[in-house]
A and B are shown apart, each in its own frame.
Chain A
Amino acid sequence: DTAVSQTPKYLVTQMGNDKSIKCEQNLGHDTMYWYKQDSKKFLKIMFSYNNKELIINETVPNRFSPKSPDKAHLNLHINSLELGDSAVYFCASSRPGTGNTEAFFGQGTRLTVV
């Protein structure tokens, strides 16, 4: 059973398009995240949701809009895609932060904007 699954795995689209990435976790975790991994492999937090509520929004352009229909799902919608949005996007989940918790990641979605 896949713990954190995100779709699609690959996404190639033209500038200006709107696209969505879906994420689901079956671990019963309350907290879900979106991370962006750039070409230098740096993992940067974008959003954090706890029990469907937005907790962290790290200076992400408002073209990126997360949506959590329930605590097992956290989707990411991106409007008006730009070349600089090309990256690998990871969904993750964890139990509420206690300092000793583990982040479980999906396989990532490689977004290429052309």
Chain B
Amino acid sequence: TQLLEQSPQFLSIQEGENLTVYCNSSSVFSSLQWYRQEPGEGPVLLVTVVTGGEVKKLKRLTFQFGDARKDSSLHITAAQPGDTGLYLCAGPEGNQFYFGTGTSLTVIP
């Protein structure tokens, strides 16, 4: 089993603040993904990063893949209440996806 540890586990911030979520592993992954899960729904893919050092931007969200392909970060600028949800990193390998421990984000209006 390839373990992906996320930090922080919980995050509660005011609207307009910035935040960063981390995803770390001792294993090398060919790619890492970030999903967002809203209450009562399944996770939905936000982004896939495939190259060590890669940075991808999705509006106010910035994703980075570590140079050694063992870690990733998600930075949100000027958080909005609509960003509230559970953020999961995942490493797709072979016939399965290894999911991180999750970060529950609450953005307070």
Contacts and interface: CB of A to CB of B under 8 A. Distances in A.
B93 to A, nearest CB: 7
Nearest to A59: B1
Given A42-B101, A102-B33, A97 B42 contact: no
Given A4-B42, A99-B50, A102-B48, 20 more contacts: A31-B95, A33-B96, A33-B97, A40-B101, A41-B37, A41-B86, A42-B102, A45-B97, A55-B95, A90-B42, A92-B97, A94-B97, A97-B93, A97-B96, A99-B31, A99-B92, A103-B43, A103-B90, A105-B44, A106-B42
A96 B101 CA distance: 24
B84 interface: no
A56 B95 contact: yes
Interface of A: 4, 31, 33, 35, 40-45, 48, 50, 55-56, 90, 92, 94, 96-97, 99-103, 105-108
Interface residues of B, number: 27
14 contacts: A31-B95, A40-B101, A41-B86, A43-B43, A43-B102, A56-B95, A56-B96, A100-B92, A102-B48, A103-B45, A103-B92, A105-B43, A107-B42, A108-B41
B97 A103 contact: yes
Chain B contact residues: helix, strand, loop or mixed: strand
Nearest to A98: B92
The 5 A-B pairs of least Cβ separation, nearest first, read A105-B42, A99-B30, A43-B99, A41-B102, A55-B95
B95 A108 contact: no
B94 interface: yes
A107 B45 CA distance: 14
